[in-house]
Structure 1
Amino acid sequence: MRVGVPIFLFLAAAGFHTALTASLESAEKEDTFGEEVGLEQLSDLQKRDQEEFEAAQMSEEENDTQEEDMNRDGNVEADQHESESDEDVDGMRQKREHLEANVEEADETTNLAEVE
């Protein structure tokens, strides 16, 4: 029986050592696997984020382009309206000058008639 106790303790220690080693190796494999999966998932997330960012930039550029086009159209319309206003002012100025000339002629004619 004296021989059985040390053998039993040796086998128990060896079994404990084997179990502990297997557990540590398993934990390392899980960590490595988790890191690999994590990197793959992170890579997928980064790709998705990059795609969304690029889509947002393209959408923003399209919006900017549309706003610029609308501003240009508005400026063209404003320029046309301004040109029309200038033409109206020029036309009214010509009418006024014509009327003033007619009034002056009428005054001169009246003055001449009074003098005679």
Structure 2
Amino acid sequence: MRVGVPIFLFLAAAGFHTALTASLESAEKEDTFGEEVGLEQLSELQKRDQEEFEAAQMSEAVQDENTEEENDTQEEDMNRDGNVEADQHESESDEDVDGMRQKREHLEANVEEADETTNLGSPRLPG
């Protein structure tokens, strides 16, 4: 019996060692598998994020171009409107000048008539 106890202890220790090693290897494989799956999922998420980011940049660029074109169009419209307003202002100024000229001519004509009327009504002194 003295010989059987050490052999039993040896076999028990060897079995325990084998079981412990197998358990550790299994856990290690699960961790590695979990990390690989996690890395794959992370890689896929990064790819999706990158694609979404690029798509967002493209849409922003298109919006910027559209906004720039709209601004250019608005500037052209404003310039055109400014030119039309300036032309209208000039024509209004011309009309004002013409109107003032007509008033002046009318007033001058009235003054001349008044002078003639005054000269006719008063006797002329020989001079």
Q: Report the TM-score when normalising by structure 1.
A: 0.52
- Name the CA shift for 1:33/1:4 in 2 (closer, same or farther; >3 Å): same
Unaligned runs of 5+ in 2: 60-67, 121-127
Measure how far apart 1:26 and its partner are: 1.0
Q: 1:45-56, aligned counterparts within 5 Å? A: 45-56=45-56
Unaligned runs of 5+ in 1: none
Q: Give RMSD over aligned pairs.
A: 6.1
Superposed CA deviations along residues 7-66 of structure 1, whole A, max 9, x for unmatched, are 110111001100111011112211211121111001100011011111211229999999
Inter-partner Cα distance in structure 2 for 1:103 and 1:70: 48
Superposed CA deviations along residues 71-108 of structure 1, whole A, max 9, x for unmatched, are 99999999999999999999999999999999999999
Q: 1:31-110, aligned counterparts within 5 Å? A: 31-59=31-59
Moved more, 15-24 or 63-72: 63-72
| Structure of greater Rg | 2
Q: Report the TM-score when normalising by structure 2.
A: 0.48
- Name the CA shift for 1:29/1:69 in 2 (closer, same or farther; >3 Å): farther
Match of 2:18, SS?
helix
- Name the CA shift for 1:61/1:103 in 2 (closer, same or farther; >3 Å): same
